[in-house]
Amino acid sequence: MIECASQRGEEVAKYEEVSRKRDVSETQQWVERWPKTFRFEIIFFGITLSYVVGHFFFRRTPKIPDIISVWRTKDELIEDVPAVLLHHDILKKRGVLSRLEEGIELFLGIVPRIVKEFEKNRKINVHFPYLCIWEYLDNRGLDHLAKMIPWKGKDEQTNRLRTKAFINLLKIRLEFDFPEKCGNITRNEAHIRLMSSVWYMSCYLQRIGMFSFVLGLGVLLVAGTCRLPWGEASVLCWPTLVSSAFIIVGTWFMRLIIEKFFHYQRVREIVYVLETAHYAGTYGLFVSEKAEKVPFPEITQDLGRGR
């Protein structure tokens, strides 16, 4: 019995030695073969594709995530004086079906249809740089910044002066005459673009995850209905279902975090640009001879003439 045990131990040792040598030989063969099978074209194509896709998301407009961010936080904004135009009647009680429809649209990253209806009736306006930014600044005691805004939300005659060109002109002139302080402005804008890109990417990934989940669930149902080998179908589909569920929940959570503070970041960008321009104009830091107490007065004048 002792001899049999020793023989069995020797056989196990020999088997382990052979297995180890085989693994080592396979690893050596793969290492020797890898330079021949490695293709730099694939790496280059992957990097190029990543750049193109990233640039595509980077160039998408931040308007849609901004609108959804305002709608996500409308209950908090309506209690104060917001920078956007929000009528109090948008919080009136609505039916269960309309709320369910709104939740589905927000979950899919789509601007709710009710927002479009309010926008048509001029009960909501979320366009950057925001129609009620003057009221927002004045309510917080920032009079020195409010007087730089040539439009007011309650004055319909000046509503046409609201334009992105106003903030862009301030950025351009600061870049020329006050470049050492423009780094933070550029950084704030880059952060907004990054959040917007991540938001769009999460939307696409979420829809891909939903498609994969439905596809995997459909395969399981077909396998059960047609009495196909259940074991093989479940082995292939369950990993797909689990990974798709993780993608759906993860991307939704990521989007929810962004939507909670995206609008605040955009308002912060406006305030930062206005304060930098005010500081530069007040202390005469502009190279231009026209620098006065109110920075860039000609911008307001040009907007007032409808230019």
Structure confidence by residue, pLDDT tens digits, 145-182: 998 899 998 888 888 889 888 999 888 888 888 888 78
C-alpha to C-alpha distance for 267 and 250, rounded to whole angstroms:
27
Residue 203: C-alpha distances to residues 73, 84, 112, 259 (Å):
19, 25, 15, 12
- If you compute the radius of gyration of the chain from its CA atoms, what whole number of angstroms results? 30
Question: Phi/psi at 93 (nearest 5 deg)?
Answer: -65, 135
Could you give the count of Cα atoms lying within 13 Å of 89 in the half-sphere of its Cβ? 6
- What's the chain's length in residues? 307
What burial class does residue 279 get, using C-beta atoms within 10 Å of its C-beta: 0-12 exposed, 13-18 middle, 19+ buried? middle
For a pLDDT cut of 70, what percent of the chain falls above it?
Answer: 72
**Are residues 115 and 265 in contact, defined by beta-carbon separation less than 8 angstroms?**
no
- Return the pLDDT at 258: 94
The residue behind tokens 């306006």 is 125
- Return the pLDDT at 151: 92
Q: Which residue has better confidence, 74 or 14?
A: 74
What single DSSP character describes residue 121? T
Residue whose C-alpha is closest to residue 108's, from 217, 246, 200, 197: 200
Whether the per-residue pLDDT at 183 is higher than 90: the answer is: no
pLDDT digits (tens, 9 = 90+) for 53-86: 877 887 888 999 999 999 988 888 887 888 888 8
C-alpha to C-alpha distance for 224 and 158, rounded to whole angstroms:
66
What burial class does residue 234 get, using C-beta atoms within 10 Å of its C-beta: 0-12 exposed, 13-18 middle, 19+ buried? middle
Whole-model pTM? 0.75
Q: Nearest 5 degrees, angle CA 43-CA 48-CA 51?
A: 125
Read off the pLDDT of each residue in 6-30 and give the average, rounded to a whole number.
Answer: 56
Distance of CA 257 to the CA centre of its chain: 9
Whether the per-residue pLDDT at 290 is higher than 90: the answer is: no
Torsion, Cα of 177, 182, 186, 187 (10° steps): 180
C-alpha to C-alpha distance for 65 and 28, rounded to whole angstroms:
52
Where residue 303 falls among pLDDT bands split at 50, 70, 90?
very low
In this structure, of 8-17, 39-48, 193-202, 264-273, the range with the lowest mean pLDDT score is: 8-17
Residue 307: C-alpha distances to residues 35, 171, 279, 299 (Å):
63, 18, 26, 9
Residue 276: C-alpha distances to residues 175, 180, 296 (Å):
11, 11, 12
- Return the pLDDT at 247: 93
- Return the pLDDT at 288: 40
**Are residues 134 and 149 in contact, defined by beta-carbon separation less than 8 angstroms?**
yes
